Amino acid sequence: MTQPILTHTYYSDFFATKGYAFLKHIAEQYPTPKKFTIFSVMHCYEGSLPYINVLAELAENLVFIPKSATATGNQSFKTTIEALPTCSVVSEAYNKQQLRDPHVAEALIREHIDADSQFLLLDHGGYFSHAIEHLCDVFREQLIGVTELTANGLYKYLNSNLNKPLVTVSHLSIKAPADYEASECIVHYSDQILREEFGLKLNNDNFLKVGVIGAGNLGRGVIQYLKGKAISNILVADIDPRKLTQFPRNGVQVSSIERLVSECNMIFCCTGNGAIPEALLDSIPDNRFIATVTSADDELKLPQLITNGALTEVGGNRLVREYQTRNGRSLYLLAGGESANTPFKTGMGDPTLYLFEAAHMLAGLQLLNQPERFKSGIQPLSDSDERAIAKQWLQHFYSYC
């Protein structure tokens, strides 16, 4: 058997090997047919290589679709993946925007399957959501089903009329630890970007007042790590007032989104879906720094804002992208408008990454091996499967017994 290509850097292989062994153990419980293709949308993170290795061993053909946020400037990562015997990386012609066209998505799939091949779509961020009804129709006998990793990706599928099963792992409790890990990274790297590009520190109250829009796992995690940096004057907003009731007793100010955008000049957007309404941008004060937990395309509806003239790009670099509002106010998107941990190596040294990867993979393997368990339309991975993953993870990494 070919030795897995786990990382770019040998000094990370010890941890990566443990992650690979965990995922491999779960995968071995399910056989796969000879003619079988997996289309996997994933970030170009070094920490994802163990997972990619396991997927490549499961399928006759693994088609890797890089997420736009981490694909640019990561050619060496894509070259590493292409070295796997059964793995191929799609061309830049098949990016998130192009795959909105059902016929482009169909063409991608036809490039990589035979007439009698079955295939799975392991989606991450709703890349196939705009084309899914068409794909379900034209590949009725070959498409096994879809799995979706994220909440904002699931949102894009909600109004689809699906005649195939879609299994979501976005709201599993075992995903929460990874969300908190992401929150820590986002706070840390936002601070680093502010220092590098503007000479500012997150915890300098004289220059920055911090607000968080969104009180889900990621928003709560961001607040936790902001408080760990001795930032006490934090505002939090959410469209659902029930989510805000937990904060006043913990010394965090609750706020409307309107007040938060008006008063805070460092804003963490943690909703995954249009955190700041377009109408507010016309009255936003000058010099707002914004970090997003997902791509600004989703978190701020950035393409729509640009099309409508609400924002105009005026400059920037890999770490900061600068925009102006209709009124000439400056708005700075940290990390170039992507999640603030995407410009940096992430996922190494943190085994929580493997929890949601295992769930994502398991959902696909069950669609393949136990189709009778699923019906057409959206459904979650079962509680019993989630508990089984958690138990195996604790045993593997923490000697749980």
Tens digit of each residue's pLDDT (9 = 90 or more) over 162-209: 999 999 999 999 998 888 888 998 999 999 999 999 999 999 888 999
How would you class 114 by CB atoms within 10 Å of its CB: exposed for 0-12, middle for 13-18, buried for 19 or more?
exposed
Q: Quote the pLDDT of residue 182.
A: 87
User: In this predicted structure, what is the pLDDT of residue 350?
Assistant: 76
Instruction: Please tell me whether residue 281 adopts helix, strand or coil conformation.
Output: helix
pLDDT < 50 regions, the chain: 1
- At 243 the pLDDT is 95
| C-alpha separations of 186 from 48, 59, 77, 297 in Å | 18, 34, 22, 17
Q: What local confidence, expressed as pLDDT, does residue 22 receive?
A: 95
Which is nearest to 7 in space by CA: 89, 71, 81?
81
What pLDDT, on a 0 to 100 scale, did the predictor assign at position 229?
92
Q: How many other C-beta atoms are found inside a 10 Å radius of the C-beta of residue 164?
A: 22
Q: What does pTM read for this prediction? A: 0.87
Strand partners, 253: 235
Long-range contacts, 201-205 (Cβ 8 Å, 24+): 202/226, 202/229, 202/231, 202/266, 203/229, 203/230, 203/231, 205/231, 205/233
Map out the domains of the chain with their CATH numbers. 10-171+349-398 (3.40.50.1480), 178-337 (3.40.50.720)
Q: Over the stretch 215-273, which tens digit does the pLDDT of each residue have?
A: 999 999 999 999 999 998 899 999 999 999 999 998 899 999 999 999 999 999 999 88
Q: Which pLDDT score is estimated for 206?
A: 84
pLDDT at 85: 87
The DSSP-derived string for 365-386 is: HHHHH-GGG--SEEEEPPHHHH
Contact 293, 270 (CB under 8 A): yes
CA 375-378-382 angle, 5° bins: 75
Inter-residue long-range contacts of 67-75, CB under 8 Å, 24+ positions, other chains counted:
67/41, 67/42, 67/43, 67/96, 67/124, 67/125, 67/127, 68/95, 68/96, 68/295, 69/43, 69/295, 69/338, 69/339, 69/342, 70/43, 70/44, 70/45, 70/338, 70/342, 71/44, 71/95, 73/318, 74/44
